[in-house]
């Protein structure tokens, strides 16, 4: 049976890497902070932590964290995005795989953090979200963190509506043995009081 196409592939046809990299390069040149996600994660980590950037795209988060002493692996299904990541940081470990199949990569469990930045959760293939969360949780050490930021309405997504709610996500995390520890409205750490975007920090019990 063919694997269900994820929503990101449906939007980009797997050809979004150069456009995505160029967009963030232009934002950086304009003075926009493009490393808020990485700094948020860094503040939660001990020095030299082991981090899986799941749905890493062009590698922006993993590259910054690795430059600040963490041991990073990036995984993405989009070869065009990974091509940009490898061009930027050829010394890092980049793996091409659907997050549904992440356990098949042979990655050694025991990551201190798995980060899902850039609307990864709502752009997964419909119906695979619980499996992805469970597979990523299985790669964490006890006490490790799953950090995910994603939009909850069309204004914060490249979609006409949000396919995932926070209640959905929390339920998948609970099934995988993860407990909510913190929820913010932004990667700068503003408290979440409702709204169209949330950053959630869950810890493996």
Q: Does some domain include residue 76?
A: yes
Q: Does some domain include residue 101?
A: yes
Q: Does some domain include residue 81?
A: yes
φ/ψ (deg, to 5) at 121? -60, -50
Q: How far apart are CA 7 and CA 70, in angstroms?
A: 30
205 residues of the chain, pLDDT tens digit each:
444 568 767 777 666 656 655 565 665 677 767 699 999 999 999 999 999 999 999 999 999 999 999 999 999 999 999 999 999 999 999 999 999 999 889 999 999 999 999 899 999 999 999 999 999 999 999 999 999 999 999 999 999 999 999 999 999 999 999 999 999 999 999 999 999 999 999 999 9
Report the run of H or E that residue 27 belongs to, with start and end: helix 17-29
**Cβ distance 73 to 107 under 8 Å?**
yes
Q: What is the reported pLDDT for 187? A: 97
Give CA 171 to chain center in angstroms: 18
Report the run of H or E that residue 86 belongs to, with start and end: helix 79-88
Q: How far apart are CA 69 and CA 160, in angstroms?
A: 39
φ/ψ (deg, to 5) at 183? -135, 130
Q: What is the reported pLDDT for 19? A: 67
Question: Which of 130, 118, 111 is CA-nearest to residue 197?
Answer: 118
179 phi-psi bin (left φ>0, alpha ψ -120 to 50, beta other) = beta
Q: Does some domain include residue 2?
A: no
Question: Which of 51, 58, 18 is CA-nearest to residue 34?
Answer: 58
Q: Does some domain include residue 1?
A: no
CB atoms within 10 A of CB 33: 11
Domain that holds residue 16: 7-204
Q: What is the reported pLDDT for 18? A: 61
Q: What is the reported pLDDT for 9? A: 73
Question: What pTM did the predictor assign?
Answer: 0.90
Q: What is the longest distance spanned by two Cα atoms in the chain? A: 47
Residue 100: give its domain's CATH number: 3.40.50.150
Q: How far apart are CA 23 and CA 189, in angstroms?
A: 24
Q: How many structural domains is the chain composed of?
A: 1
Q: What is the reported pLDDT for 1? A: 40
Q: Does some domain include residue 18?
A: yes
Q: What is the reported pLDDT for 104? A: 86
């Amino acid at each position: 049976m063919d694997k269900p196409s994820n929503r990101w592939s449906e939007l980009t046809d797997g050809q979004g890497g150069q456009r995505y990299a160029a967009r963030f390069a232009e934002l950086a040149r304009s003075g926009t902070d493009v490393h808020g996600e990485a700094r948020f994660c860094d503040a939660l980590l001990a020095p030299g932590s082991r981090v899986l950037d799941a749905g890493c795209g062009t590698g922006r988060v993993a590259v910054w964290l690795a430059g600040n002493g963490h041991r990073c692996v990036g995984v993405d299904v989009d070869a065009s995005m990974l091509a940009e990541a490898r061009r930027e940081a050829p010394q890092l470990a980049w793996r091409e795989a659907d997050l549904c199949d992440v356990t098949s990569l042979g990655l050694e469990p025991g990551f201190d953090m798995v980060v899902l930045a850039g609307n990864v959760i709502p752009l997964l293939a419909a119906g695979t979200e619980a499996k992805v969360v469970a597979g990523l949780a299985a790669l964490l050490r006890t006490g490790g963190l799953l950090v995910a930021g994603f939009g909850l309405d069309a204004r914060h997504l490249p979609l006409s509506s949000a396919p995932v709610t926070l209640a959905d996500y929390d339920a998948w995390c609970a099934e995988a043995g993860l407990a909510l520890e913190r929820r913010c409205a932004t990667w700068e750490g503003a408290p979440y009081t409702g709204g169209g975007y949330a950053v959630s920090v869950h810890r493996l019990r």
